[in-house]
Each structure stands twice: as structure tokens, then as C-alpha cells.
Structure 1
Amino acid sequence: MKRASARSTSAASTAPTTQRQKLAAATRQRIFKIAIAEFSDKGLSGARVETIASRSKVNIRMIYHYFGGKEALYLEVLEFVLGRLREAELKLKLDVDQIEPVTAIVQLYDFIEGHFAAHPELSKLLSFENLNRARVMKRSSAIPEMSSPVLSLLRTVIARGEDDGSLRKDMDPLHLYVALVSLCSFHKSNAFTLSRIFNTDMLATQWQEDHKAQAHEMVRAFVSAGAS
């Protein structure tokens, strides 16, 4: 009986801690989700900790408790959105290894294009950070490390394509990746201004699909063997 009582006492003492941990994790996640929206809409300088706290329904001190401050929270947001892109890109590895190199590169383009479409906050955050010359991003040691796997993946595809004669020679993985991202993102991140300049709704589904089809042709023409 004493032993059972001891177990009950132990369970009672640990249960509140576990519950507090769950509540703390949920609170932190709620703050973080709101912070992504605030920073992507207003940038680091425009976003206010008070607004994030209010929308998260927490005391402002909780943000400093969980994240250490506004800039630390912003940096964690940057690492998260870029990390999510890299993690998803690398899930393509098994598929990419099984298909011919030109199609593999087009498939990587399709994935990046879809990711930017599904996560517009990524383009917004990168635009704000570019305006500030990557001042906060420079503090991250994790972000540069994220690029290595995807460049390694492209390097492998390029080598395979050079060996079987399907890809042009001497393509640089970084130049190729930047070109793919440019084709994927420029018309989305600048759609409002371009639509106004050319009096064309570039966010219309049909325009986006037509542009994607053209991008496929451009990528295939550039990477295929025999391209000048």
C-alpha cells in the first residue's frame, strides 16, 4: 500500500510539470506563428513586440522569456522559413536520384516554385532582409550550412548528366540554383508592381501557368546538352 501511495504521489507531482510543459510549448508556438506573419508583413523595424504579444494573447514578458527579445525572435523566424525550404528540397533526393538529369532539374524548379507560392512569407522576409543588407541573417551560423545539402544534390545531378551526355558541360551548381530561384520567385514577389506597369494581372491562375510552362522550356533549353 505504501509503495502504491508513493507511486501515486510521484505521478501527482510530475503531472502538473508535464502539463505546464505542454502549455508552454503551445504558447511558444502561438507566439512564433504570429511573429512570422508580423515580420513578413512589416519587417524587423516595422513589427512591434507589443503587437505580437497582443495577437498571441500573452504578456509581453513572455516573448522575452521564450525568445530573448525582438531581434532574436526575428532571427529564429528567418532560420525557420529557410530551414523549411531546405528540408523540403532534400525530400526530393530519392525521386531525383531515380529520374533522368534534365527532368530532375525541372522537377527541382517545380518544387521551388510551388514552395514560394505556398509560403509567400518567405519572399517577403528575404526582401526585408535584403533591404537591410542581411544584417540580422549574418548572425546565423545555421543558415549558410543549410545550403550545402541542396548544392550537393545539384552537383550530383549535374555530374550524372555530364556522364550520360544529357546535360551541358561545366554548369556551376550555385549559379544554376540561383537561376532556378529567380525564375520561381521574381514574378511572384513583384507581381503587384509588374501587373500595374504592364496592365496585366500576373497573379491570375492562367498567367502563372503560362509563365511556368515558359520557365520549363527555358530550363530545359539551358541545361540540355548542346545548349550554347
Structure 2
Amino acid sequence: MTSRTPRRKASAAAAPQGLQGPPRRDPERTRAAILEAAVGEFSDHGYSGARTDRVAQRAGTNIRMLYHYFGSKDDLYVAVLEAVLADLRHDELQVGADHLQPLEGLLRIFDFVDNHFAAHPQLRKLLAFENLNEARHLARSARIPEMSTPVLSVIRKLLARGAAAGTVRPGIDALHLYVAMVSLAYYGRAHAFTLSRIFERDLNKGSWQKAHLNLTRQMVAAFLAPQAE
């Protein structure tokens, strides 16, 4: 018994060559391709230097589709910032730190932040460019502040549990701690090229970055430890 060929495929096969209709559009795939290309373009050139025609070319589409899905260059840039920060926030919440012992959980968050910035140079560049622009485009996003709330909530709970158990020193502000963690994970990578020239050491080498992570991790652990009576 032979299997039946689906009717749609049979019709397409039977149609004379060149008479088939145009390929069906895949809006989600096209939008995702444009967004991915835009992440590369904006991280390479910043907002001012980026060109929407290059984004469309990199995405394998045309400029009309870019503006159809994103409206304007400004809106596309905001979408790019939301996308890269959403990836960071989503992955942070998958760490599962809230189920660990408080000190272990806080150090796990720091390890993740360090690894994420190491693996996502485009995120580092985008944040640097947007900081030069005084976060004008970040200010247009209502989503980005909402993304940050769950992460701070996890840190706040770990700090409270640790303080109650006597394993983490009390009085630490969750936002201050998170900013300190990001600073320790970010600066040595974001400024590795200039620091390498200044000190004539290759800070981009894996061995240097690994040693720096060990140092900064010890700094975070020492800061979080309860103070001796």
C-alpha cells in the first residue's frame, strides 16, 4: 500500500514550472532575522553610525520590511536593547540561586553575570554606546525596568535569608550589590583593550581573565561574609 501524497504538495508538483505562487512569508522568522542583524549592526557602529539599509541587507530582506516590523530606526534600536537585556534577565532567573544557601546563591549569581558578559561582547558594546547617549533610548522602554525587578527580588531574599541565618552580613542593599557585581564582571572586559595598552599586558587572554574572576569572586565573598565581633 502506497502512502498518499498530501493534496497541497501534489498540486504544487503538478503545476508547471514557474507557475507556483510566491513563497509564503514567515513574519516571525523575518522579524527575528532583522532583530539579530540589528544587534550586530548597532553593536558594531552604535546608534549614530548604524545604517538600516545594512541591517536589511544582513537580514536578507528589504528596507520596507524592516520599517514594516519596527517602524523606525529609533524603535528598532529600542527593540535591540530590550532583546539583549531580556536574554540577560531571563538567563539570570534560570540560575536557580534562590534555592541555594544564601552565600552560595549570591556567588552563583556573580558567576553567571561574569560568564554572561564574557560570552556576549555585543551586550558590552551596546551598553557602552547607550551610556554615551545617556540612556536616551533605554528611557523609552517600559519593559526594561520591569525585567530587572525579579532579579533584584531574588538577591534581596538571599540577603535577608543570609542575614537571618548569620551567614551573610546584614544591611547590604540589593541594588548596590548587583551594581558592584556587574562592575567587577564588566570593567575588565569592556576596557580590556585600553588597559592592555596602558599596562602592556594582554587582559584579553583567557588566563588573565580566569585569574581576575578568581580575584573578584574572592572580593565578593569577603564582602558578603559576616563581620567578626
Same topology, TM > 0.5: yes
Given candidates 11, 20, 26, the residue that maps to 2:24 is 20
Q: CA RMSD in A?
A: 2.0
Cα distance in 2 between the residues matched to 1:42 and 1:69: 17
Q: The residue matched to 1:20 in structure 2 has which SS?
A: coil
TM-score, with length taken from structure 1: 0.88
Distance in 1 (alpha carbons) for counterparts of 2:72 and 2:134 = 21
Matches within 5 A, 1:1-228: 20-21=24-25, 23-93=26-96, 96-226=97-227
Greater fraction of residues in helix = 1
List per-residue Cα deviations over 1:87-124 (Å, max 9, x = no partner). Answer: 1111123xx23322112111111000111111111111
Query: Equivalents in 1 of 2:160, 2:153: separation in Å?
Result: 11
Deviation at 1:227, TM superposition (A): 6.6
Amino acid at match of 1:20: R
**Which TM-score applies when normalising by structure 2?**
0.88
Given the superposition, is the C-alpha separation of residues 97 and 50 from structure 1 closer, same or farther in structure 2, using an over 3 Å criterion? Answer: closer
AA of the residue aligned to 1:226: Q
Alpha-carbon distance in structure 1 between the residues aligned to 2:160 and 2:61:
52
Distance in 1 separating the partners of 2:82 and 2:197: 33
Distance in structure 2 (CA, Å) of the matches to 1:226 and 1:47: 50
Per-residue CA distance 1:14-57 (angstroms, 9 max, x = gap): xx9xx735x22222221111100000111111000111122222
Number of corresponding residues: 212
> Structure 1 pair 137/152, CA: closer, same or farther in 2 (3 Å)?
same
Deviation >3 Å, runs of 4+: none
Name the aligned partner's letter for residue 83 of structure 1: A
- Output the CA distance in 1 between the equivalents of 2:198 and 2:217: 25
Give 1:5's aligned residue. Answer: none
Whole-Å Cα distance in 2 between the matches of residues 106 and 123 of structure 1?
21
